[in-house]
Chains A and B, each alone.
Chain A
Amino acid sequence: MLPSFQFISAALAADASTPGSVWMPPGASTFAANVDLMFYWINYICYFFFAVVTGAMVYFVVKYRVHKGQAFRSDAPLHHLALESSWGVVPLLIVIVIFYVGFRDYMHISTPPKNAYIIKVTAQKWAWSFQYPTGATSDDLYVPVGRPVQLTMRSNDVLHSLFIPDFRVKKDVVPGRYTYLWFQSDEVTQSGQGRHLFCTEYCGTGHSNMNRKVHVLAEPEFDAWLTEQGQWLDKIPEEELFFRAGPKIYARCQQCHSLDGTKGIGPSWKGIWERTHGGEGSDGKFADGSSYSSVIGAGKKFATPEDYLRNSILVPGSELVFGFGNAMPTFKGQLNDKAIDAVIGMMQHLNEFDPKTGKYLKEAPAAPKVSMK
């Protein structure tokens, strides 16, 4: 069926990436050429019918305009079965062709190949977490060039949707079920200049800032990045953990937790060390009426303040600070013990960090080159 179009799409599939065009952003996946071709053909059909409708309208209005008092003509036709039927039949034939071509391409887009490189995606308000087969995780998406990549996605809270305009792909990320999305990009991105990755399903306060970058790397660079990514935390010595790893992990917390006392979606970290250690604010209440000092301490629910803080990261709903809702997702499986140590260490040394940006203020000793992203 429709051999001519198969020929066109086969010819274009060879040329996988396209520069940005009048209506479309740059096309950087193997899908882009066909989607753009379809888009432009529909556009041409639209231009044609728009010209016919408005052209005829303007022509008739100019030609048949009358002024008040002028005698009316009455020689106009009232109906015409063949003509009116053609207005149903011709569009029907056109849209059946459009449907078929769009459907064929869509089946390709929605069927991930068996040999795809699988990356797990976890979405939550308002961050993405990408987990690679080696166990490494990242906030930006890194993919190997020239290889089909499948994203297996789930959400920790509400609906999100992962959209990469340059790849022409999009799929909702749904709590309670897994969704797949796949693509293949044959074009390496410039270092530090990834392609846009947006959230396109409304998810609240941080919806429009839930955007990241996609970096397409050549296979050797990708492997090297992956190895380094898996070990970045391990390479940091314990005593440097809080100021090297802390701020990087805090970047995922700062949407909700300020450092300067500003009330956010969650309580500010300011003074958290004091109030959990029996100092100022330790009489602060939880939603169930208990206070910090009544749950933390030997023989109480949490033997040490560190136990309480760790529990708040892994089971956030168990103790709700008064005045705040159960809004925080769990970080179980996303932050390992060393990462949690880094966060607790940062809380302990909070006065050494910039209260606005979370940057470490003291002079850090020369660091081994590591990067979270």
Chain B
Amino acid sequence: MTTIHAPRPTALEVQTDNYLTHSRGFLSWALTLDHKRIGVMYMVGVLASFFVGGMFALLVRTELLTPGQTIPGVTADVYNQFFTLHGAIMVFLVIIPSIPAALGNFVLPIMLGAKDVAFPRLNLGSFYLWVFGACFTLVSLAMGGFDTGWTFYTPYSTTSPAGGVIPVLFGVFVLGFSSIFTGMNFIVTVHKLRPPGMTWFRMPLFLWAIYATAIIQVLATPVLAITLMLLVIERTINIGIFDPSMGGDPVLFQHFFWFYSHPAVYIMILPAMGIISDLISVHAHRHIFGYKFIALSSIAIAIFSFLVWGHHMFISGQSPLLNTLFSLISFSVAIPSAVKVFNWLTTLYKGNISLTTPMLYALSFLVLFTIGGLTGIHLATLNTDVHLHDTYFVVAHFHYVMMGSALIGMIGGLHHWWPKMTGKMYSEALGSTACVIIFIGFNVTFFTQFYLGSKGMPRRYYDYQPEFQVYHVISTLGSYFMASGFFLTAYCLISSLIGGRKAPANPWGGGSLEWQCDSPPPHDNFATQPSVGDCYDFRSLRWDEATQGYVIDPVLAAEAAKHPLH
């Protein structure tokens, strides 16, 4: 029942044709329909945006070293543009597309044993929409930038004198379509291209997470698109929708915005949760504990995500009745989150844990997500939220979830699938050192901000009271340390491309289908349709010194077949 017996080349048979060498030239990439190449192009774009967004983060942190002006020339207006750009780039250009569009594109069809996604042309179209969206952001910068905050709250955003507001609104509008098309593509792919034998409850958990994410992308993103269009209409032809001086309602904008942007938080975190489920299981060489609860909790989170947007508006003037309902429903998110965390934890119990770089990222995720999730309780509780709302406590909380969890999950997944994507192994020593530096730097940067927030430091402040300075300095030093970890990661990965050892097909001992094809995979992924077993049953795998990877041991496989897991 559980054996894996796909035809695969032996160690000596060197495969020369892979997706990277299949065809050459600029156009072979620019016009490719290959999901792997599109995934790689997304990854390059996302990482480049991450660099830019990260630089703005460092500028923001540096400016906050002292009250008032710190960097010569950075006035309050410039600072406002810095934090706005940091937020907008990280949310719309980095985190939302990072896992589904970059890693998901690469891995999803291979995990299904398929040749490609259901609609390869639509897939390429999504990528170009992402590129256009990113270009609009550049245009916006050239036209004077924007200082509205990534949330575009009205009526500030409709009256802001900054010249780049309309281009960036168009940019986010276009990026929304990129996200919608990717989501549609993945939903159809998961429904129609699963191989024979892969029932819903045999899918790798990463696919469950990507599927749940795709549903949110398709249902929620159109609301953002139309909201931003209304904003553009209001700004250009003065039709009063959100601006009270023209008869509009600014709180309506917040409802529209968070109706998308709260689900968008789960668009960011759910795929990372999927990655962690796979990472912990594979690197602990141990069947995932409580598969069905983890899978269904992803769906539960996707559903709850649509019902809790009002908790961003507890002090907006919204009625106390609505606040009460939203507070109550927000707590419900704690349940699927707790189920996931404890199931991951139990997956370590009686496991066979390898402390590889991806595993270190998975363990970091577990710690950081626990902190991020638990501090959500302070913010969902009505009386404490009144004090903590719009302070650094919130900033710290969402960085623990968005960066400490979603981005750390993405970086962990990148290290996990890097040998598959590039065919090269990176240095474990460098990779794990960088992970530890990032983990420490992250906590120094953001844990300090919980403290700042509960003491009353408001967010989005250029200037602040002198009593807060020491904590801002600690936070900024932490951010420099964390940045050095990311630079080390970049060095580790890039140097592996040049001098890295050739990656075996299965360096970690994974059981899902992508570890059955070569590293890097051939253009068509699989020569024949692979057969599917339980992708979390690792009993037939054995470490092979010759290939420096895991191989299927016929003896172990026969033994495993005699004792099916249940």
- Chain A interface residues toward B at CB < 8 A: 23-25, 31, 34-35, 38-39, 42-43, 45-46, 49-50, 53-54, 56-57, 60-61, 64-70, 72-80, 83-84, 87-88, 90-92, 95-96, 98-99, 101-103, 105-107, 109-111, 157-159, 161, 163, 165-166, 168-172, 174-177, 179, 196, 198-209, 211, 325, 327
B464 touches which of A34, A75, A208 (Cβ 8 Å): A208
29 cross-chain CB contacts under 8 A: A23-B451, A38-B384, A39-B378, A43-B378, A54-B367, A67-B354, A72-B352, A76-B289, A78-B290, A79-B289, A79-B291, A80-B289, A99-B380, A105-B382, A110-B320, A111-B320, A165-B456, A171-B317, A175-B155, A175-B243, A176-B249, A179-B317, A200-B391, A200-B458, A200-B459, A208-B76, A208-B461, A208-B464, A327-B161
B 440-473 binary contact with A (CB < 8 Å = 1; else 0): 0000000000010011101111111100000000
- Given A169-B387, A208-B460, 15 other A-B residues pairs in contact with their CB atoms under 8 A: A38-B381, A42-B381, A46-B375, A60-B348, A72-B538, A77-B289, A80-B290, A88-B339, A99-B331, A102-B327, A102-B384, A157-B155, A169-B386, A176-B248, A198-B456
- Tell whether B366 is near chain A: CB-to-CB under 8 Å: yes
- Chain B's interface size range is 35 or more
Q: Are the CB atoms of B451 and A78 closer together than 8 Å? A: no
Q: Are the CB atoms of A78 and B315 closer together than 8 Å? A: no
In angstroms, how far is the closest chain B Cβ from the Cβ of A54?
A: 6
In angstroms, how far is the closest chain B Cβ from the Cβ of A38?
A: 5
Q: Residues of B contacting A54 with CB < 8 Å?
A: 367, 370
In angstroms, how far is the closest chain B Cβ from the Cβ of A113?
A: 15
In angstroms, how far is the closest chain B Cβ from the Cβ of A170?
A: 5
Give the 6 A-B residue pairs with the shortest CB-CB distance, closest first.
A176-B244, A165-B456, A106-B382, A102-B381, A76-B350, A60-B348
A179 to B244, CA, bound (A): 15
Interface centre among A77, A106, A177 (most CB of B within 10 A): A106
Contacts of B358-375 to chain A: CB distance below 8 A: 363, 366-367, 370-371, 374-375
Q: Which residue of A lies closest to B335 (CB)?
A: A88
Q: Are the CB atoms of B382 and A103 closer together than 8 Å? A: yes
Q: A45-B377, A60-B349 are in contact. Are A158 and B363 (CB under 8 A)?
A: no
- Tell whether B125 is near chain A: CB-to-CB under 8 Å: no
In angstroms, how far is the closest chain B Cβ from the Cβ of A161?
A: 6
Q: A66-B353, A84-B339 are in contact. Are A202 and B153 (CB under 8 A)?
A: yes
Contacts of B147-170 to chain A: CB distance below 8 A: 147, 149, 153, 155-156, 159-161
Q: Are the CB atoms of A84 and B244 closer together than 8 Å? A: no
A171 touches which of B76, B315, B336 (Cβ 8 Å): B315
- Tell whether B20 is near chain A: CB-to-CB under 8 Å: no
Q: Are the CB atoms of B370 and A49 closer together than 8 Å? A: yes
Q: Residues of A contacting B474 with CB < 8 Å?
A: none
Q: Are the CB atoms of B353 and A99 closer together than 8 Å? A: no
Q: Are the CB atoms of B383 and A34 closer together than 8 Å? A: yes
Interface centre among A24, A56, A77, A202 (most CB of B within 10 A): A202
A46 to B375, CA, bound (A): 7
Q: Residues of B contacting A176 with CB < 8 Å?
A: 244-245, 248-250
Q: Are the CB atoms of B387 and A165 closer together than 8 Å? A: yes
A65 to B131, CA, bound (A): 44
Q: Interface stretch among B92-100, B181-189, B280-288, B522-530?
A: B280-288
A68 touches which of B155, B350, B378, B543 (Cβ 8 Å): B543
A96 to B331, CA, bound (A): 8
Q: Which residue of A lies closest to B464 (CB)?
A: A208
